[in-house]
Amino acid sequence: MLTIGRKATIQTDIHLKGVPSDIEEALYYGSFAANSHNIQSWKVTVKPNQGELTVSLDKKRSLDVVDPKNRELYISLGCYIQSLKTAFEAYGYKVDLRQTSPSASNHYQAIISNYQKGDHEKNDQQQVDLIKKRHTDKRKYLARKLDKDFISQATKRYKNLHYYPRSSQKFTYLKEGSIRAVKKQSESSDFLKEQSDWLRFSNQETEKKKDGISGDVLGLNPLLKSLYFMTTNHQNATNQGFAKQSLSTLKKQVNNCAGFFVMTGKQTIEDWIATGRQVQAFWYDCTKKGIAIQPISAMIEVSDYNKNLEKDLQVDEPVQMILRAGYIESYGENSGVRRDLKDYIRVEED
């Protein structure tokens, strides 16, 4: 039975005609970005002769129920842009980013990046390893307090970052609010259907689609993953029994962590992208220190709770990300469930 729960073997095709191998690798590792439901909602155009790439939102890969304004998708796009920048720099390239204003008229183009190989630059394997290590961890965290110096440095570096330890009233507010918000979401058949569409219930499905939330992304060990695959499918994932189990899992998650980080920002597309870039950069900082992270989004997604978040937390801007945080016994690495590059990257030779 344990063979059912083996780790999925993802064979991502990174070959792009006319693109140097180091650029292919940088583009591949750039896709190891945090993104909602692992839907990978981005499109890229590469002009290798000019050293230019353009990143746009793929609105065909969207979350219409929980994210009707594409707020989460643009934050995810910001994470991807920062991940790309980090990956290109790891391969010795200097990167210049020029942000544009995404709209239907420019096909939701978000960024134009010029890259150029630095003189005598060598690959930074440690940075590549950091990209591969960063991941969402949904397992149980240790209750041990986070390092005070790390919190102080992080909240100074990222001005819109706030931290609420588990001993604080605001932690309790976020914990209890998240539980109630998930319960509210689970009452919606549309929510359950959309969630089910992006869940993967076998290694074969994961290896074929190369996206979505797999058993490995959920952090299930081989035994639990085997049972999950044997008892769950796209049909019964929309029933209340599955919803209750998901709620039970969330309760364990928010009760087993050191605290919550909250990232705030203004409600514009450009600011959502900027928030995503900061989230990705901050996540790398956490990875270096062995701090596990998991976004907990329900309070932001449900209007009954979102409308009070800014006031109740006494922050100056709307809450954009709630991040469960804590140390963990074994940090793990990114599961590497990523699509073939040719599925979303177009190469232009001119």
Judgement on whether residues 321 and 339 belong to the same structural domain of the protein:
no
Residue 140 placed within a domain: no
Which residues lie across from 96 on neighbouring strands? 114
Residue 142 placed within a domain: no
Task: Provide mean pLDDT across the span 226-241.
Answer: 94
Q: Work out whether strand 109-117 and strand 345-347 pair parallel, antiparallel, or are unpaired.
A: unpaired
Judgement on whether residues 292 and 341 belong to the same structural domain of the protein:
no
pLDDT of amino acid 44: 97
pLDDT of amino acid 3: 73
- 27 is in which domain, residue-wise? 21-135+335-347
Residue 43 placed within a domain: yes
Phi-psi region of 73 (alpha: psi -120 to 50; beta: other; left: phi over 0): alpha
Q: Work out whether strand 109-117 and strand 93-99 pair parallel, antiparallel, or are unpaired.
A: antiparallel
Query: Exposed, middle or buried, 19 (CB in 10 Å: 0-12/13-18/19+)?
Result: middle
Residue 15 placed within a domain: no
pLDDT of amino acid 1: 57
Contact 164, 315 (CB under 8 A): no
pLDDT digits (tens, 9 = 90+) for 147-196: 999 999 999 999 999 999 999 999 999 999 999 999 999 999 999 999 99
pLDDT digits (tens, 9 = 90+) for 66-84: 999 999 999 999 999 999 9
pTM across the whole model: 0.96
Residue carrying structure tokens 């140097």? 20
> What count of residues does the chain have?
350
Task: Provide mean pLDDT across the span 230-252.
Answer: 95
Residue 6 placed within a domain: no
Judgement on whether residues 103 and 180 belong to the same structural domain of the protein:
no
Residue 211 placed within a domain: yes
pLDDT of amino acid 170: 99
Sign for the CA dihedral angle at 282, 287, 290, 295 comes to: positive
pLDDT digits (tens, 9 = 90+) for 278-335: 999 999 999 999 999 999 999 999 999 999 999 999 999 999 999 999 999 999 999 9
Q: Which amino acid is at 44?
A: V
Residue 254's closest CA among 138, 134, 136, 135? 138
Judgement on whether residues 319 and 173 belong to the same structural domain of the protein:
yes
Counting the structural domains of the chain, the total is: 2
Task: Provide mean pLDDT across the span 52-77.
Answer: 96
CA atoms within 13 A on the CB side of 181: 22
The CATH number given to whatever domain includes residue 214 is 3.40.109.10
Residue 28's closest CA among 74, 87, 82? 87
Residue 2 placed within a domain: no
The order of strands in the sheet holding 319-327 is 161-165, 259-264, 319-327, 291-295
* CA angle (182 as vertex; 145, 162 as ends), nearest 5: 35
pLDDT of amino acid 2: 56
Judgement on whether residues 153 and 129 belong to the same structural domain of the protein:
no
Task: Provide mean pLDDT across the span 45-70.
Answer: 95
Lowest mean pLDDT among 116-120, 199-203, 248-252, 286-290: 116-120
pLDDT digits (tens, 9 = 90+) for 4-49: 878 999 999 999 999 999 999 999 999 999 999 999 999 999 999 9
Judgement on whether residues 27 and 125 belong to the same structural domain of the protein:
yes
Q: Would you place residue 229 in the very low, low, confident or very high pLDDT band (cuts 50, 70, 90)?
A: very high
pLDDT of amino acid 20: 96
E-only strand ranges, the chain: 42-47, 52-57, 93-99, 109-117, 161-165, 259-264, 291-295, 319-327, 345-347
